[in-house]
């Protein structure tokens, strides 16, 4: 296949040229390449070719919660969102805490044959926080990292052991940071809007204390750690200071944390209920600054699809989570690039290159010899987010009706077209 005349994002620059794909890899990048006989030509004048997006934090819900999402629907949503690789969290049923579930997910994803799916294993058996899961077996079956996502490992000694075992298997722990004793049933950020609505609030310290703990462990053990979905200005400062003194800490945030504040809870729309909760403007601005100065390495979706029955209930009872795969690029592009905060290549570092580096995955770059995982977008196309049109089973998005720029036109995985708009 030959992709012609696209503006190509490569070596942290944008340049118009042609890209030839062969045997699943990028074979040639030059101006004025002519098609060889029988070669498919994609005319991409006016479009931008990006490294396939990599989402290192997705909930696919299978096995166990297929009414919310399954591997097939989640992968369809992923390629529509421009993702060529996704990593799925272990809070399934049964929990992804052993090699059998890891293999099941890998095999099912292979059958679905859309994007690459990398399972993340649970840190403890059943995510019960009591006993480490069988880490070696999960690694051998294809798990790329460990996480207790949905909660933190409460016992600090167990968490330290998890980091040690993970490193023995060349894996990292991805830490959901939440002290439940401080959350104490809170469902939104504690502040003006929790008072206004009467919804129970949860303080930043509930997140920050565990961020600080994981940093302390990483520092004392001389091991890497990755902090999930950072939402607080104070947590970002902890990570910034840790990085400055050489701690091997990396961190991610999500589009909802740089786009929204807790002001949106005022109307009790349960699509705004997410964990950690939407915070205040000073947090949103700190998330943006953290992305800009490199404190936050990645943008992930924390794609958390839920069934209508989990969301169409009173705010206190609704499930936490936002369906994010189909809006992430447009929100990143509109909020961060259009507004002049990040260059497009810098956004691609957050959405592709850094996740690949942190998890030692192939891809994340457009270079000769790399896997042909590519996303073709129209940066100038304005569109309105309509969750009813999501391919994900989870229509739970607080972004319905929002006008954004940047539309995914085509997603290519290992040189094959896996999504083409309108087809
Ligand atoms: O909002 C969230 N939803 N946060 C989490 O930590 C878990 C996730 C889910 O699994 O629904
Ligand atoms: Zn989480
Ligand atoms: Zn999550």
Domain around 395: 51-367+383-399
Arithmetic mean of pLDDT, 97-123: 98
User: Whose alpha carbon is nearest atom 9 of ligand 1?
Assistant: 304
Q: pLDDT by residue (tens digit) across 71-84?
A: 999 999 999 999 99
Arithmetic mean of pLDDT, 12-24: 97
Residue 14 confidence (pLDDT): 97
Give ∠ CA 373-378-383 in degrees, rounded to 5.
Answer: 120
User: Whose alpha carbon is nearest atom 5 of ligand 1?
Assistant: 150
Residue 397 confidence (pLDDT): 98
Give me the sign of the Cα torsion angle 301, 353, 170, 221. Answer: negative
Ligand 2 centroid – CA 388 distance (Å): 25
Most informative mutation of 274, 307, 321 for ligand 1 (most atoms within 8 A of CB): 321
Residue 355 confidence (pLDDT): 98
- Note whether residue 252 is domain-resident: yes
Task: Tell me 350's DSSP state.
Answer: I
CATH code: domain of residue 205: 3.20.20.140
> Binning pLDDT at 50, 70 and 90, where does residue 222 land?
very high
> Binning pLDDT at 50, 70 and 90, where does residue 411 land?
very high
Q: pLDDT by residue (tens digit) across 278-327?
A: 999 999 999 999 999 999 999 999 999 999 999 999 999 999 999 999 99
Arithmetic mean of pLDDT, 228-247: 99
Cβ proximity of 3 and 52 under 8 Å: no
Give ∠ CA 364-370-376 in degrees, rounded to 5.
Answer: 60
- Ligand 1 within 6 A of 74 CB? no
- Note whether residue 375 is domain-resident: no
User: Whose alpha carbon is nearest atom 6 of ligand 1?
Assistant: 150
Rounded CA-CA distance 173/122 in Å is 9
40: tokens are 């498919």
Residue 178 confidence (pLDDT): 98
For the CA of 305, the nearest atom of ligand 1: 11
Task: Let me know if 149 is a catalytic residue.
Answer: no
Ligand 2 centroid – CA 163 distance (Å): 18
Most informative mutation of 64, 91, 257 for ligand 1 (most atoms within 8 A of CB): 91
Rounded CA-CA distance 87/70 in Å is 14
- Note whether residue 108 is domain-resident: yes
- Note whether residue 394 is domain-resident: yes
- Note whether residue 73 is domain-resident: yes
- Note whether residue 31 is domain-resident: no
- Note whether residue 77 is domain-resident: yes
Model pTM score = 0.98
Residue 351 confidence (pLDDT): 98
Ligand 3 centroid – CA 302 distance (Å): 5
Number of domains in the chain: 1
- Note whether residue 251 is domain-resident: yes
Residue 254 confidence (pLDDT): 99
Question: Residue 170 half-sphere exposure, CB side, CA atoms within 13 Å?
Answer: 8
Q: pLDDT by residue (tens digit) across 137-159?
A: 999 999 999 999 999 999 999 99
For the CA of 274, the nearest atom of ligand 1: 1
Can you tell me which residue has the tokens 């609030």?
Answer: 201
Q: pLDDT by residue (tens digit) across 369-385?
A: 999 999 999 999 999 99
Rounded CA-CA distance 423/415 in Å is 18
- Ligand 1 within 6 A of 275 CB? yes
The ligand with the least distance to the CA atom of 304 is 1
């Amino acid at each position: 296949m030959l992709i012609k005349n696209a503006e190509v994002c490569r070596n942290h620059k944008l340049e118009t040229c042609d890209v030839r794909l062969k045997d699943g890899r990028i074979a040639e990048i030059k101006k004025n390449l002519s098609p060889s006989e029988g070669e498919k030509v994609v005319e991409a004048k006016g479009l931008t070719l990006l490294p396939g997006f990599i989402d290192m934090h997705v909930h696919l819900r299978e096995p166990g919660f297929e009414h919310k999402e399954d591997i097939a629907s989640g992968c369809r949503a992923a390629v529509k969102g421009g993702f060529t690789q996704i990593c799925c969290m272990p809070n399934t049923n049964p929990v992804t805490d052993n090699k059998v579930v890891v293999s099941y997910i890998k095999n099912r994803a292979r059958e679905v044959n859309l994007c690459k799916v990398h399972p993340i294993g649970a840190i403890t058996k059943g995510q019960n926080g009591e006993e480490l899961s069988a880490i070696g077996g999960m690694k051998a079956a294809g798990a790329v990292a460990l996480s207790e996502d949905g909660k933190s490992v409460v016992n600090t000694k167990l968490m330290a052991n998890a980091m040690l075992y993970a490193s023995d298997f060349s894996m990292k722990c991805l830490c959901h940071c939440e002290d439940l004793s401080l959350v104490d049933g809170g469902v939104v950020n504690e502040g003006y809007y929790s008072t206004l609505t009467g919804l129970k609030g949860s303080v930043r310290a509930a997140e920050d204390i565990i961020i600080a703990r994981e940093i302390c462990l990483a520092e004392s053990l001389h091991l890497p750690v990755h902090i999930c979905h950072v939402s607080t200005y104070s947590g970002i400062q902890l990570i910034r200071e840790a990085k400055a003194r050489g701690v091997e800490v990396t961190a991610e945030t999500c589009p909802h944390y740089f786009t929204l504040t807790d002001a949106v809870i005022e109307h009790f729309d349960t699509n705004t209920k997410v964990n950690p909760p939407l915070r205040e403007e000073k947090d949103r601005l700190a998330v943006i600054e953290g992305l800009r100065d490199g404190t936050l390495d990645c943008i992930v979706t924390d794609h958390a699809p839920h069934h209508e029955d989990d969301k169409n209930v009173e705010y206190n009872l609704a499930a936490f989570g936002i369906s994010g795969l189909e809006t992430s690029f447009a929100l990143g592009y509109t909020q961060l690039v259009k507004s002049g905060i990040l260059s497009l290549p810098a956004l691609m570092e957050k959405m592709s290159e850094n996740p690949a580096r942190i998890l030692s995955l192939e891809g994340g770059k457009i270079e000769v010899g790399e896997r042909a995982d590519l996303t073709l977008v129209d940066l100038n196309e304005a569109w309105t987010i309509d969750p009813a049109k999501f391919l994900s089973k989870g229509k739970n998005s607080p972004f319905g009706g929002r006008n954004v720029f940047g539309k995914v036109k085509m997603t290519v995985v290992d040189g094959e077209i896996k999504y083409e708009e309108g087809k």
